[in-house]
Amino acid sequence: MLKLDPGVDSLALLELVETLQRRLAIVVPDEVTIRIRTVADLQDVVARMVAAALSSAPTPRT
C-alpha cells in the first residue's frame, strides 16, 4: 500500500515521478519506481538520481 498523502494513489505517484524526471533531467527506472512506498522513499530516490546525473554530467572546461 502506498503511504503518500491521503488521496494520492499509485497513478498520481507515477505522474509525479514523470514530472520530476522531466524537470530535473533524471531517469527513474521502473523497477525503482515500483518500490516507492512513502514520501521519504521518493525523496531518497530523487536525491540519488540527481546526484548520479550530476556526477555523470560533463564538467565545463575553463
Q: Which domain holds residue 22?
A: 10-56
How high is the mean pLDDT of the chain?
85
Residues 5-20: pLDDT tens digits?
A: 555 688 888 999 999 9
Q: What are phi and psi of 22, to 5 degrees?
A: -65, -45
Please give the angle made by the CA atoms of 47, 50 and 55, to the nearest 5 degrees.
Answer: 120
Tell me, yes or no, whether 2 lies in a domain: no
Q: How many CB atoms lie within 10 A of CB 25?
A: 12
What total of structural domains would you count in the chain? Answer: 1
Which residue blocks in 1-62 are alpha helix, DSSP H? 10-24, 30-33, 39-56
> Average pLDDT in the 16-35 region?
94
Residues 32-43: pLDDT tens digits?
A: 999 988 888 999
